[in-house]
Copies of this chain bind each other. A is one copy, B any other.
Amino acid sequence: MAMPSPLPENLAELIAARFRLLSEPMRLRIIDRLRRDEAGVGELAAELGTSQQNVSKHLQTLYSAGVVERRREGNSVIYSLGDAGMVEMCDQVCGGMERHLGDLTSTLETIRRS
């Protein structure tokens, strides 16, 4: 897919919003967990070591963006990944970091430059 050039402001905002979804560690960890298997809110909260409310809030964000699907099962709500593209992006950014000579080097580099 070709990006229009110069990138219009409104399109830039749409793309930025997409990246912003993945710019929070907790959301990345939720996606990573759902990548292996669907799960309920309480289950996610327990495994990720945070509150039910926090997980619920992030799941709302991801659901509004279409990243995640949900389905009611008895008293629970089961969430699962609904957008394979997001997982691909996670993998790609990992590749990008590998290209930067590993996490440690990248981190040290950031510190050195700041």
Give me the interface of A with B, judged by CB distance under 8 Å. 1, 3, 5-7, 9, 11-20, 22-29, 32-33, 35-36, 47, 63-66, 83, 85-86, 88-100, 103, 106-107, 109-110, 113-114
Contact = CB atoms under 8 A, between A and B. Distances in A.
Nearest to A101: B66
A90 B5 CA distance: 13
B36 A12 contact: no
A91 B1 CA distance: 7
Contacts of A15: 22, 25, 28, 90, 93-94, 97
Contact of A91 (B3, B65, B91, B100): B3
Q: A-B pairs with the 9 shortest C-beta distances?
A: A85-B96, A20-B23, A12-B25, A7-B32, A19-B22, A19-B23, A64-B113, A16-B25, A23-B23
A9 B1 CA distance: 33
Given A22-B19, A85-B96, A106 B66 contact: yes
B22 A94 contact: no
23 contacts: A5-B36, A6-B32, A6-B33, A7-B32, A9-B25, A12-B28, A13-B25, A14-B97, A14-B106, A15-B97, A16-B24, A16-B27, A19-B23, A63-B113, A64-B110, A66-B100, A66-B106, A66-B109, A83-B96, A85-B93, A85-B99, A89-B89, A89-B93
